[in-house]
Each structure stands twice: as structure tokens, then as C-alpha cells.
Amino acid sequence: MPVRLIESLTTTEPLANVFSDESLIEAMLGFECALARAQARLGVIPQAAAEAIEAAAGSGAIPGAELARETLRAGTPAIPLVKALIERVAARDAGAARFVHWGATSQDVADTALVLLLKRARALVATDHSRLQAALRELSERHRDTVMLGRTLLQPAPPVTFGLKAAGWLAATHRGWNRVEAAFTEALTVQFGGASGTLAALGDRGIQVGHALAEELGLTWPEAPWHAQRDRLGALVAACGVYTGSLGKMARDVVLLMQSEVGEAAEPGGAGRGGSSTMPHKRNPIGCTLTLAAAHRVPGLVGTYLSAMVQEHERGAGGWQAEWATIADVVQATGLAVASMAEVAGGVVVDAGRMRANIEATGGVIFAERVVMALAPTLGRDAAHRLLEEASRRSIAQRRRLVEILGEMPEVSRHLSADTLRDLDSPEGYLGVAEAFRRCLISSTE
């Protein structure tokens, strides 16, 4: 199924297929068939009835547009879907038709169908996450010695390595995905509670049927139905929010590094990617832009979901109806973000020469902290700090290197030799334990 144009910047085609009308209808019919098989296996309904239900469910798609219109009137898609299924079964076997949806309620169908879609979506997002992790790990290793400006509040700061930066992206997205993965595992739980969540219509066979249903669908069986307890899905939505935020942080960094005034890294390009309708020279950061759009959208969607968790008694009014589209949007936005950043990480172009040139362009003022630490044992930290503030101002105003200014200051030269000063603005000499931190971050993802 092609992505709708209005959603083309919010999802990927595989995820759009997962949450399409056809897929959702298939999942709801799959619930009804699995329920019938489970009940027939346990002798709750006749085997012939289960076979008739399966045959009717596979006899042709129920039109999505028609189902959507009736859903708007019914407040749930399950009512018109079950009605259509009953009519199809009755056309084959009138006696079997009365066993359709036996002991279930509308929300059992809708919730379980959503969970089945999430199960499919999980595999797609996991694949792109694995691509992202592999690309970032390789990027970090390749650039473990590539020095670049550190930047705090968007201003030049002492140097770091690009390998450390990439390792930070790697570790944050690894932690984020661990939370998402754990939340997916917990959320892939069948919903089956009947009218009030007691399965009273099935007498003392309810739990037995529920276990069999979960087994048929490849889902877990919860302690009890969760009609108005939405915490599992809430945890998944919230975890997607954090994960997408980490992807957005990476995207923001790359966008800033890609600015022509900085020019230290760039997204991979290609035909039809990153151009402009008016400016032929443009190479826009499209993958990062899509990720940032997702990172802007998802927090609001998370808030919508958390608000909808406040549901009344055994079945909420309005809360569940707010959830379905919200969860689908969150998962698709998250999937688009990780797919986009996997592509970016896999083809990012790093300009190590420009990184070093940008360090040089600071005139060495980014090493003022280093000089303070060298002078502090003799001058005291406050006095050394004031001295370097003045030296840095002169360096910037006169467009001269900081070490030149310092060499002319008696307060400095009497404590630091010319050779020592000369070495103080070497970026490789002021990386601290950057490489140790990088290795720790890499190790944390293994």
C-alpha cells in the first residue's frame, strides 16, 4: 500500500502497510478466527463452527471505507466487523453464525488487533535499529582519533573526538531501544475479558480459553484483562518518546555540523535527495530533518496518550478512542526516525581537515582552561582565570594566537616556558580520557 501523501513525511512505507486498513481488518479477523479455533480445541464451540468462521473470514476483504463509516457511528470497529463476519458465516452455515465472537467484547477485538500490529511493527523498527547501531559503532571506531571542537551552548570549547561523539549517539540510542524493546515485550499481551472483564459468559472456562487464544496468536496471557488499565501501552509510547528524543539529538548535531559555516560532516546525498526547488547548490539534511520532525511530534502524542490513560471503571469513554491513532502515529514516527538516522549514519561524510581547521580558527582560546590549570598551582586558580580572561580578549581582538599573547605576559612567562606554551594548544594533548570514555560507551552496547 502506498503511503498517503499527507502522511509521507511521518512514516515509512513498510510501517504504513502495517497500520493500513487492510492490515487492521486482517488482524481483527485473525482474532476472531483464533478465538474460534481455541474454543473448538477446548470443546467450547463445535469444530464445524470454527471451520465455518475461518472460511468466512478468508472469503474476501471487508471494505475499509465502509467499515470506517460504520465505526464512526458505533464508536468501535469491532461492532460492524463482527456484524459483517456473522453475515458471512450465516451465508455458509446458519448454525455456526451464533458462535462468532463467542464470549468476547468489542475491546477484546480492537486491543488485540492493535497488539498484533505492534508485533509486526516491532520487527521492522528493530531491523533499522540494528542498522543504526552497526553504522554508529563503525563510525566511532573509524574516527576515534579525529579531533574536533567541543561545543557548549553552541560556542567553541576544548576539543573532543568525533569518535567520542558518535559513541555517545550509539550508547544513547542503545539505551533507548532497550527500553522500547522491553516495553514491546510487555505490551504484546492478548486482551480477552468479555463484557466486564470477568469472562462470565464462558463460566469457569474463561482462563483456559484465554490461554489457548494467546497461544494461537503468539501473544502472552496477562494476569487479568486490561480493558481500562493502559499502562503497558503507555510504557511503550513513553519509551518511544525517549528513544525518538535521542535520535533527534543526533540529528540536531549532524544538522549543525552540516552548516556551510561549520562544514565538518554531511549527510549522504543522491538523486532527488536534499535538493532545492530554487537553489541548485543546496544539499539539505533530509534524513535529519525527518527525524527532527518526528522528535517534535512524538512528545505531544505521548502527552495525548498519557492523558487518555485516565479511564473510567471497567471501560472508559473517550480514552480508548483517543489511543488507537495516537499509538499508530507514535510507532510510525519512531520508525521513520530510526530508519532515517540509520541511513544518515551509514553514509555520513566526515571532513577531518575542516574539523582541525575550525580548531585552528579559534586562535587557541579554547585551550584557556588548560593554561589556567597549568598556572593555578603557583598563581591560584582565581588569579589564573582572570589572567586568561584578559589574554583571551586580547587574542580575539588582535586576531593573534593565544600562546603568542601569553608569551608576552610576564605573569605567564615567569612560570611557563616557551616550549610549554607552544604545546598548550595541541588538541591531541588536551583530550583527557576521551578515548577511555569512548571505549566505555562502545562496551556498554555490546
Q: What is the pLDDT of residues 345-384, one digit of tens each?
A: 999 999 999 999 999 999 999 999 999 999 999 999 999 9
- Which listed residue (130, 276, 307, 444) is catalytic? 276
150: Cα separation from own chain's centroid: 26
pLDDT for the residue 98: 96
Round the average pLDDT of the chain to a whole number and report it. 94
C-alpha cell at 435: 578515548
Segment 97-147, tens digit of pLDDT? 999 999 999 999 999 999 999 999 999 999 999 999 999 999 999 999 999
Known active-site residue 315: yes
pLDDT for the residue 115: 98
Across the range 4-30, mean pLDDT stands at 94
Q: How far apart are CA 44 and CA 193, in angstroms?
A: 16
Q: In terms of DSSP H, where are the helices of 143-285? A: 162-187, 206-217, 231-258
Q: How far apart are CA 86 and CA 141, in angstroms?
A: 60
Higher pLDDT, 116 or 419: 116
103-107, 130-134, 176-180, 418-422: the lowest-pLDDT one: 418-422
C-alpha cell at 425: 594548544
Which CATH number applies to 364-424: 1.10.40.30, 1.10.486.10, 1.10.3470.10, 1.10.3720.10? 1.10.40.30
Segment 300-355, tens digit of pLDDT? 999 999 999 999 999 999 998 999 999 999 999 999 999 999 999 999 999 999 99
List, in sequence order, every residue forming a beta bridge with 161; answer none if it has no partner: 147
Where do the domains of the chain lie? Answer: 1-104+194-219, 119-146+164-191+226-350, 364-424
Residue for grid cell 497500520: 19
Nearest to 31 by CA among 207, 210, 222, 201: 210
Nearest to 263 by CA among 349, 342, 347: 349
Query: Looking at the predicted structure, is the pLDDT value of residue 2 above 90?
Result: no
Segment 48-104, tens digit of pLDDT? 999 999 999 987 778 889 999 999 999 999 999 999 999 999 999 999 999 999 999
pLDDT for the residue 277: 43
Across the range 432-438, mean pLDDT stands at 98
C-alpha cell at 395: 587574542
Query: Looking at the predicted structure, is the pLDDT value of residue 6 above 90?
Result: no
Query: Looking at the predicted structure, is the pLDDT value of residue 272 above 70?
Result: no
Known active-site residue 276: yes
How many CB atoms sit inside 10 A of residue 186's CB?
Answer: 15
How many CB atoms sit inside 10 A of residue 422's CB?
Answer: 12
Q: How far apart are CA 268 and CA 287, in angstroms?
A: 9
Nearest to 232 by CA among 95, 327, 108: 327
Helix axis angle for 231-258 and 162-187, nearest 10°, is 160
Contact (Cβ atoms closer than 8 angstroms) between residue 434 and residue 167: no
Residues 6 or more apart whose CB falls under 8 angstroms from that of 204 comprise none
Residue for grid cell 458465516: 89
N- to C-terminal Cα separation, the chain: 37
pLDDT band at 404 (very low <50, low <70, confident <90, very high): very high
**Which CATH class, in words, describes the domain spanning 1-104+194-219?**
mainly alpha
Q: How far apart are CA 287 and CA 293, in angstroms?
A: 10
Query: Looking at the predicted structure, is the pLDDT value of residue 167 above 90?
Result: yes
Residue type (1 letter), 173: T
Instruction: Decide whether 1-104+194-219 matches 119-146+164-191+226-350 in CATH topology.
Output: no
List, in sequence order, every residue forming a beta bridge with 221; answer none if it has no partner: none
Contact (Cβ atoms closer than 8 angstroms) between residue 28 and residue 109: yes
Across the range 170-175, mean pLDDT stands at 98
3-class secondary-structure state, position 425: coil
Segment 279-290, tens digit of pLDDT? 445 578 899 999
| Superfamily of structural domain 119-146+164-191+226-350 | Fumarase/aspartase (Central domain) (1.20.200.10)
- Which listed residue (120, 175, 283, 315) is catalytic? 315
pLDDT band at 271 (very low <50, low <70, confident <90, very high): low
Q: How far apart are CA 232 and CA 224, in angstroms?
A: 13
Contact (Cβ atoms closer than 8 angstroms) between residue 356 and residue 425: no
pLDDT for the residue 378: 92
pLDDT for the residue 359: 97
pLDDT band at 229 (very low <50, low <70, confident <90, very high): very high
pLDDT for the residue 273: 60
